[in-house]
Amino acid sequence: SDSVNGVVKPRILLMGLRRSGKSSIQKVVFHKMSPSETLFLESTNKICREDVSSSSFVSFQIWDFPGQIDFFDPTFDYEMIFRGTGALIFVIDSQDDYVEALSRLHLTVTRAYKVNPDISFEVFIHKVDGLSDDHKIEKQRDIHKRTNTDLTDAGLEQIHLSFYLTSIYDHSIFEAFSKVVQKLIPQLPTLENLLNIFISNSGIEKAFLFDVGSKIYIATDSSPVDMQTYELCCDMIDVVIDISCIYGMSNTEAGLPHDKDSMAIIHLNNTTVIYLKEVTKFLAMVCFLRKESFARKGLIDYNFHCFKKAIQEVFDVRVKVQQSRKLLNQR
C-alpha cells in the first residue's frame, strides 16, 4: 500500500455511472476547484482514472461505468484493485432516475465483497442541493430500502452499506468524506483519546485533526461537531493555503507551500480564537478556544509538542507492525 513518511494512506475507490459527479467530487475535495467550474469538466472515456493524490493523506482512484464495461473484461484486474481497497464509494445522481445506478451498485458491491469482505461500502446520494429536506429523506429511505432488498434477495444481507446525502455546493461532501476516511484509520480511538487529553489540559473547546490537502478531518475530540465550527475550520485552511501559496516557501521538499512548522492564528470578534498548527507534512490541528485561554499559549504549545510526539509514535507503530507482517508473509 501507499505510504508517505511512515504514514499508510487509506485507499478509496470512487465509482458510479457516468455523469453521477465523480470527477467533480474529486476536483472539489482534492483539487480546490470551485463547484461551479465543474460544469465545464469534460467526460473521459477511460474506465479507470488513476489519481493517487500526492499532497494528501488519502489516496484514491476513480472508476466509471460508461455503458456496459464490466467485470468480465480480462484486461481489467478488478480483483487486485478490490484487494487493496479500504473503502468503495458509490455515487448516485439523486436528480436522475436511479434504477440503473442501483443495479450497478448491487453488482459492484457483491463482486467486491467476494474479493474483499473488509471493504467498507459507502453510498453517496449525490447532487441533493436541488432537493427539499423532506425530499432528501424520502430519497434516502427509498434507496436504502431497495438496495437492502436486493442484497437480501441475493442472500447477502450481511453486507452493510452506509448512506450519505452529498452535494459539492456545500460542506456535506467534505463531511461525508471525513466519515469515510475515519473508518479506515485503525488508530482513530487513540487519536480521539489524545485529542481529548490535549484539549482538557490546554483549555481548548474543540480540536480537529485535518488533512490539509483535502479539508477532510480525520479525527476530533469526543465533544459533538457542529457544522458551523467545521465550516470555519475549512475556511481557515483555505485562507492559510492561499496565503502560503502567495507568500510562502516555494521549494519545500514535497512541493507544498507549508511545512511541518507552519501555523496560523485568527482572532474572531466574538472572543474566539482559531489556532492552526501543522502536525505532519499532511496533517494540521485546528483548535477553537477562548481569548482568555489563548493567553496561556506557552502551555498550549508545550502540550501540542507532546501531542505531536505521541501522534508520530502512533503512526510509527502501525508501520512497524505492517513491516513485520510483510516479513512474516515472505517466510
Q: Which sign, positive or negative, has the C-alpha torsion 70, 75, 80, 86? A: negative
Query: Mapping DSSP to helix (H, G, I), strand (E, B) and coil, where does residue 286 land?
Result: strand
Task: Give the 3-state secondary structure percentages of the chain, helix then strand then coil, rounded to 5.
Answer: 45, 20, 35
Binding residues for ligand GDP (CB under 6 A): 16, 18-24, 38-39, 41, 43, 126-127, 129-130, 167-169
Phi and psi at 177, nearest 5°, equal: -60, -40
For residue 105, the minimal CB distance to ligand GDP (Å) is 14
End-to-end alpha-carbon separation of the chain, Å? Answer: 19
Q: What are phi and psi of 321, to 5 degrees?
A: -60, -45
Nearer to ligand GDP among residue 16 and residue 86 (C-beta): 16
Compute the distance between CA of residue 295 and CA of residue 311 in angstroms, rounded to an integer.
25
CB of 253 to ligand GDP, least distance (A): 32
Q: Which is nearer to ligand GDP, 164 or 282 (CB)?
A: 164
Q: How far is the CB of 69 from ligand GDP (least distance, A)?
A: 14
Q: How far is CA 201 from the centre of its chain?
A: 28
Residue closer to ligand GDP (CB basis): 95 or 110 = 95
Q: How far is the CB of 95 from ligand GDP (least distance, A)?
A: 7
Q: What does residue 162 show for φ and ψ, rounded to 5 degrees?
A: -110, 145
Q: What is the DSSP string of 62-83?
A: EEEE-TT--TT-TT--HHHHHH
Provide, rounded to whole angstroms, the least separation between the CB of residue 64 and ligand GDP. 6
C-beta neighbour count of 133 within 10 angstroms: 9
Nearer to ligand GDP, 43 or 250 (CB): 43
Task: Considering the complex, state which of residue 126 and residue 277 has its C-beta at the smaller distance from ligand GDP.
Answer: 126
Closest to ligand GDP by CB, 90 or 208: 90
Strands 87-93 and 59-65, by their bridges, are unpaired
Total count of residues recorded for the chain: 331
CB closer to ligand GDP out of 14 and 191: 14
What's the closest the beta carbon of residue 135 comes to ligand GDP, in angstroms? 14
Output the smallest distance, CB 47 to ligand GDP, in A. 12
CA dist., res. 75 & res. 318, Å (int): 34
